[in-house]
Amino acid sequence: SQELEQSPQSLIVQEGKNLTINCTSSKTLYGLYWYKQKYGEGLIFLMMLQKGGEEKSHEKITAKLDEKKQQSSLHITASQPSHAGIYLCGAVGYGGATNKLIFGTGTLLAVQP
Amino acid sequence: DTGVSQDPRHKITKRGQNVTFRCDPISEHNRLYWYRQTLGQGPEFLTYFQNEAQLEKSRLLSDRFSAERPKGSFSTLEIQRTEQGDSAMYLCASSSTMTGTSYSPLHFGNGTRLTVT
């Protein structure tokens, strides 16, 4: 069963609009990663969050990990066509397997010019 | 830093044939991971190595799958007697335990897309 749930599954926004993608876990997250994937390509690392309440930004993308460390959100400000792709959250620490990264099902983002 | 390299990018094979994929990690990375991804799904963990030791293998991985990393550098993933259900993107990733942080990000290659006809 999937242990990380992402919402929404897909999203279409107009260029310039803001958007948020959520990643929810039923268990405490010890390390939460955000990746971006273009169709047919590998994953590109965006950010990693470890501490409850932590927030990181890179260019127009901000990721937060809530205090309870069971949910993370990825926020894109003023979206651009270059932001289009699949966004994946990944978590470590499940079931004591600290070195295995488990992924959510992904959120497909399309940005209309 | 040339990144993680995977070969081939695409492989088409007939059911029942054996296939082998290669992954060259980032040179200073001591951990190497294999994942499988099907359309519309996130990557699914298969196995990982620390140096040449295979430390974990998914229970989902059948006996037809075997991975090696003989010298702690490149790795190969072999699938024997391929089945149509093996069609997927096979992703390799590497990371380092020397960064001083508890969890280091995985750096992914562009994958090998396998089609079994």
CA-based nearest distance A113→chain B, Å: 24
Cβ contacts of B57 on chain A, cutoff 8 Å: none
**Listed range (A48-52, B13-17, B21-25) with the worst mean pLDDT:** A48-52
What's the mean pLDDT when you consider all of chain B? 92
Cβ contacts of A88 on chain B, cutoff 8 Å: 42-43
Cβ(B72)–Cβ(B17) below 8 Å? no
Percent of chain B with pLDDT over 70: 94
Most confident of A96-105, B62-71, B96-105: B62-71
pLDDT band at A95 (very low <50, low <70, confident <90, very high): low
User: How confident is the model at residue B83, as a pLDDT?
Assistant: 96
Q: Are strands B53-57 and B65-68 parallel, antiparallel or unpaired?
A: unpaired
**What is the spatial distance between Cα A102 and Cα B14, in angstroms, rounded to a whole number?**
30
User: How confident is the model at residue B2, as a pLDDT?
Assistant: 78
Among A31, A40, A43, select the one facing B103 at the smallest CB separation. A31
Cβ(B92)–Cβ(B49) below 8 Å? no
A47-73 pLDDT tens trace: 999 888 899 998 899 999 998 878 999
The CA distances from residue A48 to A34, A43, A65, B25, in Å, are: 6, 14, 10, 20
pLDDT band at B18 (very low <50, low <70, confident <90, very high): very high
A25 DSSP β-pair partners = A4
CA-based nearest distance A106→chain B, Å: 6
Q: Residue A13 above 50 pLDDT? A: yes
User: Maximum CA pair distance of chain B?
Assistant: 46
Q: Which amino acid is at A43?
A: L
Mean pLDDT along residues A95-113: 83
User: How confident is the model at residue B79, as a pLDDT?
Assistant: 97
User: How confident is the model at residue A1, as a pLDDT?
Assistant: 46
Residue A33 has which token pair? 């990663």
Cβ(A3)–Cβ(A25) below 8 Å? yes
